[in-house]
Amino acid sequence: MNNANRNWPRRGGFTLIEVAIATVVIAVGVTALMSTLRAGTTVNATSSRMTTGMFLAQNIHEWTMHLSFENVMLVEPDPDAEPCDNAVVIQYIEDLHGKTFSPPRDGTGSGIGNQTGWAQTVRLSWREADNLQREVDGPTDVIHVSVGVSYNGGMVTTMNYLLFKRIPPTIPEDETDDPDLNPLDPPDGDGDDEGGGEGDGTGIIQDDPEKPPVN
């Protein structure tokens, strides 16, 4: 009997080409998945830094809202100056010009201890009251504030806004003597009520002894 003519059963399985193609498809899919995860992680980190940066910029905005104007010329800051620590005290808005705060400050001007690597830089410029786009030497009633927030030396976000000098309202002198305009000044008189009855100085109307009682 010739063994070469026997019909041997074929074994099931994949050929080498099929295995190679499947390996390539799996590798491409895993690579795409890892790229998506990496991009998502980067976007989340960027969003987190942007949120923190806006929060720190808003802190400077709230802080400056409670500071008053000193009405002095702005001094060009030293570019080689070290960042301000928590010991530096700010009294006026003009004192913020060119200052970098690291650790950053909160809305009251106090240092934030858990923000390592973050810094706030403030620059000021006087603006003309009738033309807010025009920068002048000052001082004026309007000041432009630019806040830059950075993380580990890289700029994250900026904020720009205007502050206007708050002038307390005044009352003309001729109006302070008018009792109708100045309720703190009691009217002159013997305490008579506006109704025309007799008074005893307490604001209570007394009965007229000569008037007969009403039945």
pLDDT in tens, 74-97: 888 888 888 898 888 899 999 999
Per-residue tokens: 112: 């934030």
The tally of CA atoms less than 13 A away on the side-chain side of residue 77 is 18
pLDDT in tens, the chain (215 residues): 455 555 655 566 778 888 888 888 888 888 888 888 787 777 788 899 999 999 999 999 999 999 999 888 888 888 888 889 888 889 999 999 999 999 999 999 999 988 889 999 999 999 998 999 999 988 999 999 999 999 999 999 999 999 998 766 666 666 555 555 555 555 555 544 444 444 444 444 444 555 555 55
Write the single-letter amino acid at 191: G
The verdict on whether omega for the bond into residue 77 sits within 30 degrees of 0, i.e. cis, is no
147 strand-pairing partners: 122, 159
Per-residue tokens: 181: 């305009």
Cα(7)–Cα(130) distance, rounded to whole angstroms? 103
pLDDT of residue 77: 85
- What's the pLDDT tens digit per position in 170-207? 666 665 555 555 555 555 555 444 444 444 444 444 44
The answer to whether residue 64 sits within a structural domain is: yes
Q: In the chain, pLDDT over 90 holds for what percent of residues?
A: 40
Q: Where are the beta strands (DSSP E) in the chain?
A: 100-101, 118-128, 131-136, 142-151, 154-164
Structural domains of the chain, count: 1
Cα(130)–Cα(70) distance, rounded to whole angstroms? 21
- Structural domain harbouring 79: 15-174
Report field, pTM of the whole predicted structure over 0.75 = no
The answer to whether residue 158 sits within a structural domain is: yes
- Residues 43-77 as b/e (b if ≥16 CB within 10 A, e otherwise) read eeeeeebeebbebbbebbeebbeebebeeeebeee
The answer to whether residue 169 sits within a structural domain is: yes
